[in-house]
Amino acid sequence: MNTSFQAIPLTDRVYWVGAIDWAVRNFHGYQTSRGTTYNAFLIMGDEPILVDTVKPPFLDEMLTRISSVVEPQRIRTLISNHAEMDHSGGLSLLMATLQPQRLIASAQGKKALQQHFHWPHPVETVADGQRLTLGNSALTFFETRMLHWPDSMITFLEGDDVLFSNDIFGMHLASFERFADQLPANLLREEAAKYFANIILLYAPVVEKLLARLPTLGVTPRLIAPDHGPVWRQDLGSLVAQYAMWSSQKPTQKAVLVYDTMWHSTEKMARAIGDGLGSAGLAVKMLPLGASHRSDVASELLEAGALLVGSPTLNNQIFPTVADTLTYLKGLKPRNRLAAAFGSYGWSGEAVGHIEGTFQEMKLELAAEGLRIPYVPDGAALLRCRQLGLSIAGKIKERLA
């Protein structure tokens, strides 16, 4: 038997049996710079239960970890909290090889699984708040629709008081440490924020409703076990408070300045605008797109008070890298940020107007008229750029006063 992978105990009878993906760097457009984990959990009651699974290439790792505790064929119940393939991609093979008695999902989960697999397997649905006793394990299921798919749900195990929170409270971080308190706090905050900004932000209003609902569910978790990254066992209140803060989208005295450039003119403008913002005392994050990934832009924007976007005009359009990032940010629906556009141009200069159009669609408040400079900015033009930075800094401070 392959014994290279072992189950890791989380409580007396709950084991982590997931997989570590050290190599993944692209998660549908999100740059997972530190890899990720696909977390699956084995509940070793008198009827073993598997909560979620792993991405298909990692099934062997998961099954080997399970085998270190129990023969996988003894698992009679599979729970699918979420149909996305990083958690459910292996279900077809597991259904065929383990032949469990039950596969449990939400009603939307059943539909999504059938639409993915087009399979004959029955799926037992659970309603929001439904409690099931499976052998000596009592589980309650709560729908978390649109966090972040319509099918998403979370599962609470009584006694051990583990909340299997699926994608919520997760992060993309490959590590051998299984508990958050074994990892540096700054690393956790950075990756949790990146995950929130890129996966959860669009659904911030849904998070607020969930957080308001949590105290009414009648469950008090001792562990929060998400499907990516480490398990939380300490200071769960701070974790929830952090989510509440990010969901509120309250701006801070920080500006994010995103740009790309063709012949360094828009870059010169960006540097001068940034200088103005910085000299007014703002925290400024300069993100040249030749050296910055769109998902890092989303992360930096999470707590910012302003978004400034610079683009040259290329063939009457926004420069492609800038258009890519803007499209991505628009989908995430950041709110409560001031915005401004700028850019160098040759003869037509439509990019700034296009960017402002996108800002309007994003419901971001324009802090200043877009600044367009023909060809190469001279000293006077760079002074205008700096003044733009100073002016926007003043408006951010005004809003926060």
Catalytic residues: 28, 82, 84, 86, 148, 167, 195, 228
Sign of CA dihedral 87, 93, 99, 105: positive
Q: At what angle do helices 265-279 and 379-400 cross, to 10 degrees?
A: 40
In the complex, residue closest to ligand FEO by CB: 84
Of 228 and 337, which has the nearer Cβ to ligand FEO? 228
Residue 294, class by beta-carbon neighbours within 10 Å (0-12 exposed, 13-18 middle, 19+ buried)? buried
Give the footprint of ligand FEO on residues 213-232 (CB under 6 A): 227-228
User: CA-to-CA distance for 65 and 52, rounded, in angstroms?
Assistant: 14
Of 48 and 230, which has the nearer Cβ to ligand FEO? 230
> Smallest distance, Å, CB 294 to ligand FEO?
18
> Smallest distance, Å, CB 337 to ligand FEO?
26
- Residue 343 tokens read as 């850019």
User: CA-to-CA distance for 259 and 43, rounded, in angstroms?
Assistant: 49
User: CA-to-CA distance for 16 and 58, rounded, in angstroms?
Assistant: 14
Closest to 32 (Cα-Cα) out of 232, 242, 226, 293: 293
Of 39 and 292, which has the nearer Cβ to ligand FEO? 39
Pick the stretch among 81-89, 201-209, 328-336, 361-369 that binds ligand FEO (CB under 6 A): 81-89
Cα 181 versus chain centre, distance: 20
Pick the stretch among 64-72, 84-92, 125-133, 251-259 that binds ligand FEO (CB under 6 A): 84-92
User: CA-to-CA distance for 229 and 239, rounded, in angstroms?
Assistant: 14
The answer to the question of residue 350 lying near ligand FEO (CB under 6 A) is no
> Smallest distance, Å, CB 226 to ligand FEO?
9
> Smallest distance, Å, CB 359 to ligand FEO?
28
3-state secondary structure 48-92: CEEECCCCHHHHHHHHHHHHCCCCHHHCCEEECCCCCHHHHCCHH
Q: Which helix (H) or strand (E) holds 264?
A: none
Pick the stretch among 63-71, 80-88, 246-254, 286-294 that binds ligand FEO (CB under 6 A): 80-88
Q: Which of 61, 86, 260, 267 binds ligand FEO (CB under 6 A)?
A: 86
Of 87 and 372, which has the nearer Cβ to ligand FEO? 87
Cβ 15 vs Cβ 42: under 8 Å: yes
Site string for ligand FEO, 110-149 (x = CB under 6 A): --------------------------------------xx
Pick the stretch among 39-47, 83-91, 113-121, 346-354 that binds ligand FEO (CB under 6 A): 83-91
User: CA-to-CA distance for 343 and 166, rounded, in angstroms?
Assistant: 42
Q: Which of 55, 87, 372, 386 binds ligand FEO (CB under 6 A)?
A: 87
Of 84 and 191, which has the nearer Cβ to ligand FEO? 84
The answer to the question of residue 354 lying near ligand FEO (CB under 6 A) is no
Site string for ligand FEO, 159-178 (x = CB under 6 A): --------x-----------
Sign of CA dihedral 226, 230, 232, 233: positive
- CA torsion 72-73-76-78 (nearest 10°) is 50
The answer to the question of residue 84 lying near ligand FEO (CB under 6 A) is yes
Binding footprint of ligand FEO on the chain (CB under 6 A)? 82, 84, 86-87, 148-149, 167, 227-228
